[in-house]
Structure 1
């Protein structure tokens, strides 16, 4: 992700502004950036996010996103 502001990038990806990025939002945001993400890549991204907070809700919170950004 080329943006320098991870909070702004999170807001870009969180299209409905509910504080979470869904698989659909993630896919749409990547497509808008001219990048494709495979189902396997999505599975991996969301599995890691769910593993971080243990809630297994299939969404990425801003806190999870910021942790991943710093990796």
Structure 2
């Protein structure tokens, strides 16, 4: 996924409350909606932490984009 508009749409699917950040709970819920029921709360927390540049336990669009953009 190298297109920023596609990335924004994907980000919005994960950001359930629309606050501009993806929490571990939102990540887990989005993955379940997509059929991946193996993402537990601790797995979601680890995934968020691996891309969370500022350590706030939230994934901003910029952090999300940095994680998916391969330019």
Task: Give TM-score scaled by structure 2 length.
Answer: 0.77
For structure 1, list consecutive stretches of 5 or more residues without a partner in the other structure: none
- 2:63 aligns with 64
Tell me, which stretches of 5 or more residues in structure 2 are unaligned? none
Tell me the matched-pair count.
66
Looking at structure 1, the residues matched to 8 and 67 of structure 2 have their Cα atoms a distance apart, in angstroms, of 12
- What TM-score does the superposition give when structure 1 sets the normalisation length? 0.77
Q: Which has the higher contact order (CA 8 A, sep 6+)?
A: 2
- 1:23 aligned to 2:20? no
CA RMSD in angstroms, aligned pairs only? 2.1
